[in-house]
């Protein structure tokens, strides 16, 4: 089974660098990056910010991915969410091989 990771980054440069790092280390098969508007409360203050979201497809260990992302991410508390997904057979096989 494959799964998707949803990760936010402070800007496009960080998102691209993170994706390239994960690809280089063969931790993900592919990823999409897109701009988002984020709203949240951080340390008691309301924040409205522009970020970039990453959706990465993989079949690797979540704990391994989490550790690697935290190691290179600029955020004190990065968003790293795992979604179990169902994909078409050929795509799932490609992710496994990649």
**pLDDT at residue 91, as a whole number:** 96
CA dist list (Å): 94 to 3, 21, 52, 55, 82: 13, 20, 26, 17, 19
The pLDDT tens digits of the residues spanning 61-91 come to 999 999 999 999 999 999 999 999 999 999 9
Task: Specify the residue for token string 């508007």.
Answer: 37
Question: Strands (DSSP E) along the chain, which ranges?
Answer: 3-9, 30-42, 45-58, 80-84
Q: Residue 19 has which token pair? A: 């994706």
End-to-end CA distance of the chain: 14
**pLDDT at residue 37, as a whole number:** 98
Overall domain count for the chain: 1
**CATH number of the domain within which 8 lies:** 3.30.70.120
Report which DSSP code applies to 64.
Answer: H
Residue 15: phi and psi, rounded to 5, are -60, -45
Alpha-carbon dihedral sign for residues 63, 65, 66, 72: positive
Q: What is the pTM of this model?
A: 0.94
Which residue range(s) make up the domain with 53?
A: 3-97
**64 vs 3: CA distance, rounded Å:** 14
Taking residues 10-35, report their average pLDDT. Answer: 98
């Amino acid at each position: 089974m494959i799964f998707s990771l949803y990760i936010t980054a402070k800007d496009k440069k960080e998102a691209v660098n993170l994706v390239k790092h994960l690809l280089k280390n063969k931790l993900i098969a592919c990823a999409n990056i897109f701009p988002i508007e984020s709203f949240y409360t951080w340390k008691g203050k309301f924040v409205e910010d522009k970020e970039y979201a990453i959706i990465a497809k993989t079949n690797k260990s979540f704990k391994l991915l989490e550790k690697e992302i935290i190691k290179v991410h600029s955020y004190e508390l990065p968003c790293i969410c795992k979604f179990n997904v169902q994909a078409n057979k050929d795509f799932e096989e490609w992710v496994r091989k990649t």
